[in-house]
Amino acid sequence: MIFQQLLNGLVVGGVYSLFALGFALVFGIHHILNLAHGGVFMTGAFLGLYAVLQGLPLWLGFVVAALGGGLLSVLIEFMAFRPLKKSGETEFGAIISSIGANLIIISIAQKISQTEVMRFPFETFPVIIYRFWGLRVSFLQLFMALMALALMAVLLYFLYRTPIGRKIRAVAGNEHAAILLGVNPNHVFFTTFFLSGALAGVAGVLIGLAFNSIHFMMGEPFLLSAFVICILGGMGSIVGTMVGGLVFGMIHTLSVAYLSSGLTESIIYGLLFVMLILRPNGLFGKSAAGALRVQR
């Protein structure tokens, strides 16, 4: 029984990681807390759903969600974050302007969906259940886990083995020095925000398939858990975020299964608080969370 729960937690955790990765990418590279990430995630789920309802195959739904999420995220960067860069007040400004962007996205989605809770048509994804070693795994769960793993691997390859990935890491290290060395920061911004949005879009479709509930507010709880995951793994660390997501998924399912579900939130956020106090840089993070800060 406990192994079954661990397995479920691992699968859910993988999808949580996908969502949190996009969030961590933007924070790690541009030091921006993108609170509209939940809205992008929800948009991805909506796009995937509408694509399937239009009769497109599911894989095309994923593509549409990834592209749509990516473009929306780029649009958010262009409208909400880029104008703030000149003022030097990004830390506070970005939070408020991304909250504004999120409100806009959510209210448009509410209008489109007419506040309904929607779901993918039955058998959009074949319902096949495998049993081995006394465990029960559905094909969907396997697919989710594999998809999450594959996307993470692609992201790591992209960041550490390609020229544009090197540019992104250069901007993350020191944006000014990178610009002096001839890196076009706008290009890097475009790429990271597109990747972040695409990951959120795919995560949206996966969660929509798994939990069968797609509605305009579905992003909020995920955004809050993305905070937890990123802190667990260390803000901005890619590998840390992946592991953080898996740990989060397991803690979540285990505490729902064995303790009262009413206490789950308290446990998770209590853990987050303690983690921040004891190891503010997370399990894998390097940047200094407690460093003295100078504001211009």
Partner 1 sequence: MMQFFLTYQPVLDHGLLSLGFAFSQWVVLRAGVFSVASAGLAAIGGYSAALLHLDGGLPPFVTILLGAVLGGLFGVALAWPLARLRGVYQAIASLAFVQIVLSLNLYAEGITRGALGVDGIPKLVETPLLLLLSAGLIYLMHSVNTYRLGRTFETVRQDEAVANSLGISTIHFQTIAFAIGGVIAGLYGGLTAFHSYHLDPAQFGFEFLVAALSFVILGGRRSVVGPVIGTAVLVILPELSREFGEFRQLGYGVILMIVIVFMPQGIADTYLSWSRKKRLASQQEAQ
Residues that bind partner 1 (CB under 8 A): 27, 31, 33, 79-80, 83-84, 87, 89, 91-93, 95-97, 99-104, 106-108, 110-111, 220, 224, 227-228, 231, 235, 260, 262-266, 269-270, 272-273, 276-277, 280, 289-295
CB of 182 to partner 1, least distance (A): 29
CA 194-284-143 angle, to 5 degrees, is 55
Shortest Cβ 6–partner 1 spacing (Å): 24
CA 41 distance to own-chain centroid: 7
Beta carbon nearer to partner 1, 45 or 235: 235
Rounded to whole angstroms, the Cα distance separating 218 from 214 reads: 7
CA distance 167 to 182: 10
Give dist(CA 56, CA 268) in Å, integer: 39
Which is closer to partner 1, CB of 48 or CB of 233?
233
CA distance 236 to 85: 20
What is the pairing mode between strands 129-132 and 135-138? antiparallel
Min dist CB 265 to partner 1, Å, is 4
Contact present, 285 and 236 (Cβ < 8 Å)? yes
Q: Measured from the CB atom, is 53 or 96 closer to partner 1?
A: 96
Query: Closest separation between CB of residue 264 and partner 1, Å?
Result: 8
Q: Which helix (H) or strand (E) is 129 found in, with range?
A: strand 129-132
Q: Which is closer to partner 1, CB of 100 or CB of 165? A: 100
State which residue, 126 or 221, has the beta carbon closest to partner 1.
221
Q: What is the closest distance, in whole angstroms, from the C-beta atom of residue 74 to partner 1 in the complex? A: 16
As measured in angstroms, the least distance from the Cβ of 294 to partner 1 is 5
Q: Which is nearer to partner 1, 1 or 114 (CB)?
A: 114
Q: Which residue has the tokens 């503010």?
A: 280
CA angle 92, 95, 100 (to 5 degrees): 130
Give least dist CB 125 to partner 1, A. 32
Residue 7 or 267 having the CB closest to partner 1:
267
In angstroms, the CA 205 to CA 2 distance is 28
CB 289 within 8 A of CB 232: no
Residue number with CB closer to partner 1 (158 or 269): 269
Nearest approach, Cβ of 112 to partner 1 (angstroms)?
12
For residue 257, what are the CA distances in angstroms to 72, 102, 211, 247?
Answer: 37, 33, 17, 15
